[in-house]
Structure 1
Amino acid sequence: MKYRSKRKALVLLADGTIFYGKAVGDKEGTAFGEVCFNTGMTGYQEIFTDPSYFGQLMVTTNAHIGNYGTNEEEVESDSVKISGLICRNFSYEYSRELADKSLQQFLDDNQLFAVSDVDTRALVSYIRDNGAMNAVISTDVNNIEDLKRRLAEVPSMEGLELSSKVSTKKPYFVGGETSNFKIAALDIGIKKNILRNLVKRGAYVKVFPYNATFDEMESWGADAYFISNGPGDPEPLVDAIKAAKSMIASGKPVFGICLGHQIIALANGISTYKMHNGHRGINHPILNLISGKGEITSQNHGFAINREETEANKNVEITHVHLNDKTVAGIRMIDKDVFSVQYHPEASPGPHDADYLFDQFFDLIKNKSAQTV
């Protein structure tokens, strides 16, 4: 039976702008966060469970959300990480055979409040012009002044440390103990598919909490180090930056993705900054400056590294650039087996253009292991 929400709801931006809609499932609710948008046509379940989105209100630009339901195997963490969902048309019914439940049931199970029937084209256009900002979604449409007061108390994403909210509390292992290589992964918001990509290439991975010291990771006897993706501002992650400096100094291969890319840059004295509205989607064009080839990539970040400082750093080389705005999308160190990218090679939402980066990491590990034999 088809269903349509009737309870009124709103999206209130920090600058006072309001967009109206309806509450999904007719539920009462209120949720705060930084409003941002994702341009992907598919992959909403992966987006909602990606730790990098922690604390954000997600606007989906695809007009229909929920039409293929959800599947318990298509999650990137153990729970939903976004603060709330904003969409145009919410599908209460689904038609995919592999789905195990509807998106509404998935949201209810995770106690996530969502608003539909919003003019998302107008909202996204507004965010593009005015930048990402804090917002609130709520059914409390008659108490706008109170919502404004509460919204003003929500901290800005700039300067906010969030990795501690999503990182593992204690180390754990992934893969087989008899695997060829041991990789120590610093979890500052790691996605499950990253671990799958490491394991399927022959790695035994020990995942460490966001504030683990280098000595703790080194004592395990890892062959290489990985620094994960994650949410929030990278600069407050002083423990991760300190650990990254020691990883680099160890001479072992180091690979960083997204927030991990920013941590490696900060470890090299390159600053980061909050972007106007960030890059979030599965169709972002990247130019590999080493191969000269273009790549279609999946991205999710609201911060970037300073290009001028990167170009001036004698120890670092820019390897990838974003073709839309020329921001730095990848770097490598000149005299170390250290590299990182701002995008997500593990996502592979269709094209597998960036899949080679994991192979590149393992080639470095193999070469280093051969040198020590």
Structure 2
Amino acid sequence: MTPAAVPGRAKAPAVLVLEDGRTFRGRAYGAVGQTLGEAVFSTGMTGYQETLTDPSYHRQVVVMTAPHVGNTGVNDEDPESRRVWVAGYVVRDPARVPSNWRSVRSLDEELTAQGVVGICGVDTRALTRHLRERGAMRVGIFSGDAIDDEAALLARVRQAPPMAGADLCAEVATSEPYVVPAIGPRRFTVAAVDLGIKGMTPHRMAERGIEVHVLPATATVEEVYAAGPDGVFFSNGPGDPATADHPVAVMRAVLERGTPLFGICFGNQILGRALGFGTYKLKYGHRGINQPVKDLATGKVEVTAHNHGFAVDAPLDRISDTPYGRAEVSHVCLNDNVVEGLRLLDRPAFSVQYHPEAAAGPHDAAYLFDRFVSLMEDRRA
């Protein structure tokens, strides 16, 4: 929902109300008003600006586990999209004065300007432990006047739509196609289906000589191939992959043609569905820039960036037969054995659940863009 913003009242009292009835009181941070969403937590120590502007956080209230947030302020170079997408923001100790040579304004000012309702001064450690035990759930942040009737506020939270069953990617994707030119000589052309793409993703491809044609989430197969692509990419994005029937149908058409294909995050879940696997909602998801993932082919462990609340239900211990040939799980999360990557063995297609574009960091998985380039080189040869 669009929160009501009342700038200039950053010290107003505020309350966070969880779906199960637990409450946390603090003071307003950012805009004063009300907002509803799904409560999730991010374990990253840095990169809050990239988190806030990641379209995958649409309709989510993000709890930062790091106690001090806003130290480096906000700049105009690091946003991953055109706006802040989080539905709400929860921090323990916000920076009083930002200190960074690139900072042009404070995080509090940015949240206020964009109408993002937040809360600070709460015990985010206790809140995170609660979400780990009970799972991600609906939440509301209310600040300003009329916040004492917690029963009424709880009723409003419980009326909010859940994330399961939410079809959101078209709400955050571009409405018009655009092109990100290659940096240096153009080697390949890629059609990128925008399901909530982060700006760093086409940049990472452009660095490798790829001209990226970014298309709306509603793009048809004909529109994908009108770009004359050497490869097709499916991006990250918000919502429940079980609702994404159109992207699944487009991906199946790409698989039929044998065009090199790469998917990230939501794109990994779309590939899972296209191959015939199911998806399911995680208890509290993976969010942050410090998640350990193992490459099952090499045994290498990567520290990776994550933002997902759903996962693919595919077997870890065997190769699966699919309508497009044999498929296997390529990567797995070492914290909980969640599927973190898929690979087709008979067609040039693969995906990962995490974010190799590394905004903000780490860069362990940057090789995946090179793997995509190799698939296009092989196809051309």
Task: Normalising by structure 1, report the TM-score.
Answer: 0.95
Q: Which amino acid aligns with 1:125?
A: R
Q: Work out the CA distance in 2 between the residues paired with 1:362 and 1:304.
A: 26
1:8 aligns with 2:13: yes
**Which residue is equivalent to 1:217?**
224
TM superposition shift of 1:146: 2.5
1:274 aligns with 2:255: no
**Which residue is equivalent to 2:206?**
199
**Which residue is equivalent to 2:37?**
33
Q: Work out the CA distance in 2 between the residues paired with 1:203 and 1:7.
A: 49
Contact 1:21/1:118, CA 8 A, preserved across alignment: yes
1:20 aligns with 2:20: no
RMSD of aligned C-alpha atoms? 1.7
Q: Which amino acid aligns with 2:205?
A: L
Q: Work out the CA distance in 1 between the residues paired with 2:17 and 2:27.
A: 13
Contact 2:61/2:139, CA 8 A, preserved across alignment: yes
1:46 aligns with 2:50: yes
TM superposition shift of 1:311: 4.2
1:111 aligns with 2:118: no
Q: For residue 315 of structure 2, give the secondary structure of its aligned residue in structure 1.
A: helix
TM superposition shift of 1:312: 6.0
Q: Deviations over 1:266-316 (max 9, x none)?
A: 000000000000000111001111111110000010000003399462221
**1:72 pairs with 50, 71, 76, which one?**
76
TM superposition shift of 1:5: 5.4
Which deviates further from its counterpart, 311-320 or 40-49?
311-320
Q: Structure 2: where are the runs of 5+ without partners?
A: 1-7
Q: Work out the CA distance in 1 between the residues paired with 2:22 and 2:241.
A: 29
1:143 aligns with 2:149: yes
TM superposition shift of 1:227: 0.2
**Which residue is equivalent to 2:128?**
124
Q: For residue 115 of structure 1, give the secondary structure of its aligned residue in structure 2.
A: strand
Q: For residue 280 of structure 1, give the secondary structure of its aligned residue in structure 2.
A: strand
Q: Work out the CA distance in 1 between the residues paired with 2:219 and 2:359.
A: 29
Contact 1:297/1:348, CA 8 A, preserved across alignment: no
Q: Which amino acid aligns with 2:344?
A: M
Q: Structure 1: where are the runs of 5+ without partners?
A: none
**Which residue is equivalent to 2:104?**
100
Contact 2:305/2:361, CA 8 A, preserved across alignment: no
Spell out the pairing of 1:288-367 with structure 2 (5 A cutoff).
288-308=295-315, 311=318, 313-314=320-321, 315-347=326-358, 349-367=360-378
Task: Normalising by structure 2, report the TM-score.
Answer: 0.93
**Which residue is equivalent to 2:4?**
none
Q: For residue 150 of structure 1, give the secondary structure of its aligned residue in structure 2.
A: helix
**Which residue is equivalent to 1:88?**
92
Spell out the pairing of 1:109-258 with structure 2 (5 A cutoff).
109-139=113-143, 140-176=146-182, 179-258=186-265
- Over the matched positions of the two proteins, sequence identity in percent amounts to 42
Q: For residue 277 of structure 2, give the secondary structure of its aligned residue in structure 1.
A: coil
